Amino acid sequence: MTLQLTELDGEHDPTIACRGACARCGGEHVLPVGPARRPALALLARMEREGRIDFDAPDPDPRLSTDYLYGEARGQMFGVLAVRDGRGRTGVLKAFSGQYNSIWEVDGWVPPLLDVGRFRADTFESERRIKAMGREIAGLPADSPARRLLVYRRKKASQTLMGEIHAMFRLPNFRGESVPLPQAVHGPGNAPTGTGDCCAPKLLGFAALNGLTPMGMAEFFFGRANRSGSKEHGRFYPSCLDKCGRILGFMLCGLEAA
């Protein structure tokens, strides 16, 4: 994808958009909303107006309709990063969290921080076995020893698979370094499921890899409210601390000197 060049107004929102303690230097690094709120509001309005996210496609893909976000899958997070390139020009990047209706990459949106082809090839068999165990568990008596054993085995298989997936992510920072995700995690214990594929890591990773300096970030929720009711359509939220916060410190490291 290419950077969408745009003039950013002088508005600067000091609200913290993302933060995290750094596994590299031990300090805490933060990024404010800065000038990103207005372009994020523009993206939100465009999604509401056009009802899709493949804005520039001559033939809209029905899988990329925003109707998906109001169905059983419910909504998801979207983010905008305001950046400056090496020539002093400003622009914006945009990203969606995770996959969109099982689609990893959409033109105009920042890609994931892993090789999608390798991910599909290396996880296919493990995912198939885990799903097969789930079907077998459903057919066993609730309190049977066989069921408890199979639940345990499925849990261990899922943990192993998640560790393998996390190792596929390579996280860059603004010191020019890049490490596998597990090495960027701050604090004890493994990273939670889904770490590395939210909006903030995608946006910061793309910026770091392409010589762009972040100026601010804003993330909003689009679609049907999540099951817990903690996220609602059109509202802005900072990056979570329990998942993204474990790696964002490393990813932001070096930005102060950029």
Over the stretch 212-243, which tens digit does the pLDDT of each residue have? 999 999 999 999 999 999 999 999 999 999 99
Taken in order 232, 236, 239, 241, the sign of the CA dihedral is negative
Q: Smallest Cα–Cα separation from 250: which of 1, 48, 65, 19?
A: 19
Bridge partners (DSSP) of residue 29 are 20
Residues 238 and 200 in one domain: yes
Among candidates 237, 217, 233, 235, which has minimal Cα distance to 225? 233
Residues 244 and 189 in one domain: yes
Do 232 and 196 belong together in one domain?
A: yes
pTM value is 0.92
Out of 153, 168, 183, a domain closes at 168
Q: Which class for 167: exposed (0-12), middle (13-18), buried (19 or more C-beta within 10 A)? A: middle
User: Domain check: are 176 and 164 in the same one?
Assistant: no
> Do 110 and 221 lie in a common domain?
yes
155 shares its domain with 43 = no
pLDDT tens digits for 141-166? Answer: 988 999 999 999 999 999 999 889 98
Whether residue 181 is found in the same domain as residue 216: yes
- Which residue is listed with tokens 């056009």? 50
User: Any residues with CB less than 8 A from the CB of 125 and at least 6 apart, and which?
Assistant: none
What is the CB neighbour count within 10 angstroms for residue 57?
A: 13
What percent of the chain lies above the pLDDT cut of 90? 85
**Containing structural domain, residue 139:** 117-168
Using CA atoms, how far apart are residues 87 and 92, in angstroms rounded to an integer?
15
C-alpha 40/C-alpha 21 separation (Å) is 26
My answer on whether 212 and 186 are in the same domain is yes
218 and 98 inside one domain = yes
Instruction: Inform me whether the pLDDT recorded for 193 exceeds 90.
Output: no
Residue 191: per-residue pLDDT: 87
pLDDT at 6: 86
The answer to whether residues 110 and 193 belong to one domain is: yes
Say yes or no: 41 and 159 in one domain: no
Number of domains present in the structure of the chain: 2
Answer whether residue 2 shows pLDDT above 80.
no
Which residues pair with residue 6 across a beta bridge?
Answer: none
